[in-house]
Every structure is written in structure tokens, then in C-alpha cells.
Amino acid sequence: MSIRATRAITERRECTSSPLLVTTMPGLFLVSLLMHPLFSSPDSPSDKEGPIHDFTWNPSSKEFAICYGFMPAKTTIFDQRCHPIIEFPAHPHNFISFNSQGRLIALAGFGNLQGKVDVYDRRLMDVQSGGLRRIGGMEAGNTTHFEWSPDGRLILTAILSPRLRVDNGVRLWHCTGTLLEVRSIDDLYQVSIGGSIQYHHVD
């Protein structure tokens, strides 16, 4: 862990145009990103105190999103030069996920939060709020696993062991929030979605 962090800081001194991410478990630490001079502006994440909950790149690699600050947290999408381009209203979120096409983005509150998921369309703007249009949402309490389908239209949420040993199972949702399937599976350790849903559990 310390070796990776040291290497990233060293590389950051030689590269001033691109932010670098140092990943450790269980958290994410944006070492060089927070050192960027643009983050001293009023529009930067420094305008809200608190931890960084999540960070993810859009699969297009042209932008990234950060969820940060004490609850209710703030989520902002930045371009490659670290300029904020879209801000979401403060909400109890701590998780961000783009679908593989980079068009839809899900913001959720998992762990000790209630499991509410909000889905926004990156290409549609809400005239009244000036932000992205919310196309759907769902209540997925106790979720320990979240995954988009390859076509970017479905969302799989699951409660897995050993993180939680009760209520193990899977829910499949349409991105607009419609619940399509519910399956309870005792001792479910892993699940993935491709052309079909693959389950790994103990009989």
C-alpha cells in the first residue's frame, strides 16, 4: 500500500496535467487530485468539509465523478482538467457508478445508509434544476453488491455473505426503477450479470 502511494506522488511531480488516483482498501485516497491548484477554488471539493466517499471515471475517460463531504454528501462531475461541470444536490449518497456506455450514472447510499439509488441520464438536462435529469430510482436497502448489465439498461443489487449473512439474495431492476426479479438465496457469496445471471452459493 505504501509503495503504491509513494510511486503515485513521485509521478505527480512530473505530470501536471492529469490527476492520478491512489487506491487502497477499503477506501480511496485522491492524493495528487487534491493537490491540484484548481481545487483551491470555491467550486472545488474543498467547499464542503468531510471525507471522500467514492470516485469513479466515466468509461469515456473524459470525465470523473467524486462523492464527498459530511452527510448529506455532495457529488460533482469534473472534466479531464478538473473543472467542475455538473453538480448534484446534496444527498445521503456514498456510491457512484456509470453504466458501461457512460450515459447513465447511479448515485446511491449503501452501508449504514438506507440504500436509496438515484439514476440520472448524462445526456438529458432538467430545465428547472439545471442539472441532469433523474430518470428513476429504487430502494435497495442492505445492498453489498451493485452492478450494471452489459447493455447498460439493467441494474443488479445483491446482499452477499459474509458481509451480511441474513436476507441473502438478488434483485434485478430496470434503470428507471422497475423491479423485474427478486430471488432469495441462502449463503450467497458472489453474483455477476452478463448474458445471464451467475450465482455462487453454498448448498
> Which pLDDT score is estimated for 197?
59
Low-confidence residues of the chain: pLDDT under 70: 1-48, 127-130, 195-203
Place of cell 441532469: 132
**pLDDT (tens digit per residue) in 33-59:** 554 444 444 445 456 677 888 888 998
> Which pLDDT score is estimated for 200?
55
SS3 category, 45: helix
Q: 167-177 in b/e burial notation, b at 16+ Cβ within 10 A?
A: ebbbbbbebeb
Neighbours of 95 (CB within 10 A): 21
Residue 10, class by beta-carbon neighbours within 10 Å (0-12 exposed, 13-18 middle, 19+ buried)? Answer: exposed
> Which pLDDT score is estimated for 125?
78
DSSP letter at 83? -
> Which pLDDT score is estimated for 52?
86
> Which pLDDT score is estimated for 189?
85
pTM of full prediction above 0.85: no
